Amino acid sequence: MWLAFFFQAILALVAAQPAAACGLDSDCRIGDRNYRIQWPEGAREPFGAIVYAHGYRGSAAGVMRNRSLRRMAREEGLALIALDSLDHDWVIPHAPGHAGTDGSREFAYVAAVLDDAARRFALDRDRVMGAGFSSGGMLMWNLACEMPGRFAGIVAVAGTFWQRPPVRCATPVASLVHIHGETDPTVPLGGRAIRETWQGDVGEVLSMYRRVGGFRASEPAQIEGMTCQGWRNGAGEILDFCLHPGGHSLRTSYIRAGLDRLRAAGRM
């Protein structure tokens, strides 16, 4: 009898704690996709989050092995939500092997992740920052144009649109911080050919976003080890472009610097 009672108690506990069904070491399932999440222990709910997109051939599990990134999120009192691509890379417009896609598959996935995380973990929807590196940065630029209202701001590192900026961008725009290496050989500032397609030109993309968002030159960010340009629009949104002297690299300090800039603008 005591054994039956024990199992009933365990089942009741599991049912009462749906958030424990997924997290840092296990997938949060949504349809045929998944994501992983680290939430800040002891943080006051609801809490904000960094939604992070991995690079080429990465994974949500791989993101969660980045102890530096996880530690930074904890220190900032934010959840870390790791997105997971379905096919080793993000299915976004003009990407290699994905001719003809409009990106709607990924946009729907990201929207579903945000909705699911809010349902499971009491996410503060007004304090969600998007961030990504390399092809993950490319996804972030696409999200900035497709669904800016879902993000308090976006930090894109070493990645932009494939080929060229899109013909349309949703408004009002979100604040965006773009960080890139001056000598990046993998995603050069001017782009390069990749199989049947090519990477976009960062300068062309920034010009498009300044025009769409109504940005005007403002005081540039002061970030150690980087040279920055800055713009701000009438709504108080910011656009920062910062160069570091390295190549195709990601440091947690880049994500933190972007977060600091968004917070200074009152967006996180």
- What confidence category does residue 45 fall into, taking pLDDT thresholds of 50, 70 and 90? confident
Q: Which two tokens stand for residue 119?
A: 């349902």
Please state, in angstroms and rounded to a whole number, the distance separating the CA atoms of residues 101 and 206: 23
Q: Is the pLDDT of residue 212 over 60?
A: yes
What is the rounded CA–CA span in Å between residue 260 and residue 4? 53
pLDDT at 44: 64
Domains of the chain by range and CATH? 29-264 (3.40.50.1820)
Q: Is the pLDDT of residue 19 over 70?
A: no
What is the Cα–Cα distance from 138 to 145, expressed in whole angstroms?
11
Residue 7 has pLDDT above 80, yes or no: no
CA angle in degrees (0–180, nearest 5) for 251-256-260: 150
- pLDDT cut 70: percent of the chain above it: 91
Proportion of the chain above pLDDT 90, given as a percent = 85
38-42, 67-71, 154-158: which has the minimum mean pLDDT?
38-42
pLDDT for the residue 43: 64
Per-residue pLDDT of 100-138, as tens digits, reads 899 999 999 999 999 999 999 989 999 999 999 999 999
